[in-house]
């Protein structure tokens, strides 16, 4: 696999890299994307009809059970070579920040230490009333009740029509404007406002590297477009960059 020499040089010179990931990265671990067709008992539902505050108020049992089903689909998923390559990048670059739209927790499981989960984490729960965090399965009752106020627990994810957590968004924007290199990996470029981050990085003069099997609107702002699966491209890219420098086993900057 051949890569542009200036991309390899930029990787080795970078002190801070931001890695923005979407559902395509999780799909390589066998996790269905939100846009995949529902199956089994859920074939007659759409994600857009279930992942909303209104749906939870109207029918909390159905929404909770749908998320319980989704958790089961993810339970045996493991980090794939893309997750592992991103985590390994921390041994080569001074700072690597992962900004993800995915809710499965696989970046942390792979070993990435700075992960901003823009859309939350499906394994966590919060109270729909007091917003306090609570164990995901605190009781047999469906949905479980909040141990703090007795309200109903819901998955700690961002639903359609809800804003992202302000602190996560501000951190993501700050990292996007400061990164020496901004990777955009496996995202459809359709979900806003998260999809604006690569454009924001580019507007701040940050080189954007697009990694995706298919073309998206981010191709137009990317300095480098790498077409293919992240699990194939990222390990090869990082190996090529540091093998060429003779530094495959250590950081580029002490």
Q: What are the chain's domains? A: 1-31+78-119+164-254 (3.40.50.1220), 34-76+121-157 (3.30.1600.10)
Listed residue (201, 205, 225) closest to 213, CA to CA: 225
CA 113, CA 45: separation in Å to the nearest integer? 36
Q: What is the mean pLDDT of each run of 10 residues along the chain (254 residues)?
A: 94 97 94 66 75 95 93 94 98 97 97 97 95 73 91 95 94 97 92 91 97 94 97 97 62 45
Q: DSSP letter at 78?
A: -
Which residues have a Cβ under 8 Å from the Cβ of 5 and sit 6 or more positions away?
none
CA 208, CA 222: separation in Å to the nearest integer? 5
**What are the start-end ranges of the H helices in the chain?**
5-13, 23-27, 47-50, 53-58, 60-74, 81-88, 106-110, 166-178, 196-203, 230-245
Q: What pLDDT is recorded for position 27? A: 93
Instruction: Respond yes or no: is residue 170 known to be catalytic.
Output: no
The pTM of this model reads 0.90
Q: What pLDDT is recorded for position 41? A: 57
Q: What pLDDT is recorded for position 230? A: 98
Q: What pLDDT is recorded for position 245? A: 53
Q: Are 217 and 189 in contact (CB under 8 A)?
A: yes
Identify the active-site residue in 119, 148, 170, 224: 119
Q: What pLDDT is recorded for position 17? A: 98
Q: What pLDDT is recorded for position 188? A: 86
């Amino acid at each position: 696999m051949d890569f542009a020499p200036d991309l390899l040089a930029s990787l080795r010179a970078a002190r801070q890299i931001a890695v923005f990931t979407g559902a395509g990265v999780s799909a390589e671990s066998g996790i269905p994307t939100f846009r995949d067709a529902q199956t089994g008992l859920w074939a007659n539902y759409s994600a857009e009809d279930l992942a909303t505050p209104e749906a939870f108020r109207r029918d909390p049992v159905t929404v909770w059970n749908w998320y319980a089903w989704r958790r089961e689909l993810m339970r045996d998923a493991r980090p794939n070579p893309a997750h592992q390559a991103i985590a390994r990048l921390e041994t080569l670059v001074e700072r690597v920040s992962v900004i993800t739209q995915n809710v499965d927790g696989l970046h942390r499981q792979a070993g990435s230490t700075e992960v901003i989960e823009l859309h939350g984490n499906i394994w966590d729960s919060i109270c729909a009333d007091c917003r306090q965090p609570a164990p995901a399965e605190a009781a047999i009752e469906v949905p479980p009740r909040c141990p703090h106020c007795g309200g109903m627990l819901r998955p700690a994810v961002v639903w359609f029509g809800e804003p992202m957590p302000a602190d996560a968004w501000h951190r993501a924007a700050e990292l996007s404007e400061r990164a020496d290199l901004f990777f955009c990996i496996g995202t459809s470029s359709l979900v806003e406002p998260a999809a604006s981050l690569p454009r924001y990085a580019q507007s701040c003069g940050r080189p954007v590297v697009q990694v995706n099997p298919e073309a998206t609107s981010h191709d137009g702002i990317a300095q480098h477009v790498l077409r293919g699966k992240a699990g194939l491209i990222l390990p090869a890219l990082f190996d090529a960059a540091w093998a060429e420098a003779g530094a495959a086993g250590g950081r580029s900057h002490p």
